[in-house]
Amino acid sequence: MPATCVIGLQWGDEAKGKLVDLLTLQHDIVVRYQGGANAGHTVVAGDQTYKLSLIPSGILNPAVQSVIAGGVVINPPSCLAEIDGLVERGIQVTKNLMISDRAHVIFPWHMAEDRALDSSVSSGENIGTTQRGIGPCYRDKVGRAHAIRLGDLYREGIEQRIERIVEAKNRTLASMSDNFEPLNAATIAEEYLGYAERLKPFVADTTSYLLDAAEGDKRILFEGAQGALLDIDHGTFPYVTSSNSSGVGVSSGSGVPGRYITKVLGVIKAYSTRVGGGPFPTEQDNDTGQHLRDRGNEYGTVTRRPRRCGWFDAVAVRYTARLSGVDSLAVMLLDVLAALPEIQICTAYEIDGQRVTDFPSHVDDLRRAKPIYETLPGWQQEITGVRSIEDLPANARKYLDRISELVGRPVDVVSVGPDREQTMFSKTSNLR
């Protein structure tokens, strides 16, 4: 049966949440499979706006099973707060949410390490993490010795394990910061066992569940978090997140083999944004960037930091579309470009006098990359009320065609505003 993936192809915040919410109707199961509460996915449903962080955007549809798979890292108090917040707003979160017992747990020491580590990146510039403990938790997962998975919280001896870990973490953390207050193992154990009790009804072996679903007749929708340029292995390392946020992460995070995936939708903004540190060749640290930030309301969903804004980078997106096995594109926030007389697209980089169209593997080369731009005329009229791609102004259609040509993928979806209705599907798309 068909499984669809929604993958961000830039540095996150491409409006994946909006798209997942729309596609939920045609699916039985929606799965978050990597990342954690560093993500902030916005869904606007009528007069209600939901900011989802860990819970799949499918949760707004009670008929759909939402799954947090084993590749996700869970901060129990923030997960519970998110569940409580949804329930308070009348959203059903009972049997329709499942959380993997394999998911690794974020503890207070991970947050403390995140704060201490981010100011000591060996390459100088801070990563500017969301400080949610994501990197340190994934590091402990790979390191194994200090890792605790959600399922471990229900096993005997967990208090002793927490005690041993806290002993080691207190020593490390004391050496990392001067005014560090040692953590108390007994308090943390009691607190986390309390959270575990509350989470118990949701905890399950989601890998078996998803394999049964994939082998059966269920339609699965995979919701990517972050964007492919933040992928730990294939992104702009070290200015990345700590999971495989490109399309390559779907199978490792969910346990569902790639052979079941029938459609990959690559989500892009009609321009570029980035939150946090790291190179961004097409960044416009000027009036144009400020205009995009104002029009696009480009402030982080999780941290409220102003997002860095710039022109669309076709070199980067062609790379991430190939890397993620993208079939077609969803171009979001096209309305944000409405007032601009001219719009630039980066078609290649110049690095040390050479014209380059392959995305550089080393961050130093990306730092030196000067964008080579092509200038297209703007359309200079509002398009938030347009409801079919054919009715867009000719220059807007030309802009979409040029993006499609440069990236090498057709455009299936165009979005001209945050509401569900402000979304258009191409005639050839089989998404509706």
**Binding test (CB under 6 A) with ligand GDP, winner from 243, 320, 415, 426:** 415
CB 301 within 8 A of CB 13: yes
CB of 415 to Mg ion, least distance (A): 14
- Return d(Cα 297, Cα 292) in angstroms, integer: 8
* Residue 4 contact, options ligand GDP, ligand IMO, Mg ion, none, Cβ 5-8 Å cut-off depending on partner type: none
* 199 half-sphere exposure, CB direction, 13 A CA radius: 29
195-214: which residues touch ligand GDP (CB under 6 A)? none
Query: Which one, 44 or 91, has the nearer CB to ligand GDP?
Result: 44
Closest-CA residue to 6 (of 416, 421, 415, 427) = 415
Q: Check binding of 227 to Mg ion (CB under 5 A).
A: no
Binding segment for ligand IMO among 88-96, 128-136, 187-195, 253-261 (CB under 6 A)? Answer: 128-136
- Mark residues 299-338: x for contact with Mg ion by CB under 5 A, - for none: --x-------------------------------------
* Nearer residue to ligand GDP within complex by CB, 139 or 291: 291
**Contacting residue, 242, 282, 347, 426, with ligand IMO by CB under 6 A:** 242
How far apart are alpha carbons 54 and 41 in whole angstroms?
9
Among residues 4, 11, 13, 32, the one that binds Mg ion under rule CB under 5 A: 13
Q: Does 13 bind ligand GDP (CB under 6 A)?
A: yes
Contact 291, 349 (CB under 8 A): no
Name which of 326, 310, 324 is nearest 404 in CA terms: 326
Calpha distance 69→184 (Å, rounded):
30
By the rule CB under 6 A, 332 interacts with ligand GDP: yes
Q: Give the whole-angstrom CA distance, residue 84 versus residue 229.
A: 32
Residue choice 35, 40, 136, 360 for contact with ligand GDP (CB under 6 A): 40
Catalytic residue among 21, 27, 28, 41: 41
Residue bearing tokens 């560090």:
180
Answer for which of 4, 7, 10, 18 binds ligand GDP (CB under 6 A) is 18
13 classed as catalytic: yes
For residues 14 and 412, which CB has a smaller minimum distance to ligand GDP in the complex?
A: 14
**CA–CA gap between residue 39 and residue 47 (Å, rounded):** 22
DSSP string, 67-122: EE-TTBEE-HHHHHHHHHHHHHTT---STTEEEETTSEEP-HHHHHHHHHHHTT-T
- Give, in order, the Cα–Cα distances in Å from 279 to each of 98, 125, 364: 37, 10, 9
Rg (CA), the chain: 22
Q: Is 114 a catalytic residue?
A: no
Task: Please select the residue that binds ligand GDP; options are 7, 17, 54, 213, rule is CB under 6 A.
Answer: 17
To 5 degrees, how large is the angle CA 260–CA 103–CA 78? 120
As a 3-state breakdown, the chain gives helix, strand, coil percent values, each rounded to 5, of: 35, 20, 40
Which of ligand GDP, Mg ion, ligand IMO, none has residue 15 at its interface (CB below 5 to 8 Å by kind)? ligand GDP
Q: Which residues bind Mg ion (CB under 5 A)?
A: 13, 40, 301
Q: Which residues bind ligand GDP (CB under 6 A)?
A: 8, 12-18, 40-42, 44, 296, 301, 332-333, 335-336, 415-418, 422
Q: Could you give the residue numbers annotated as active site? A: 13, 41
Q: Which residues bind ligand IMO (CB under 6 A)?
A: 8, 11-13, 38-41, 127-130, 132, 134-135, 225-227, 230, 241-242, 275-276, 301
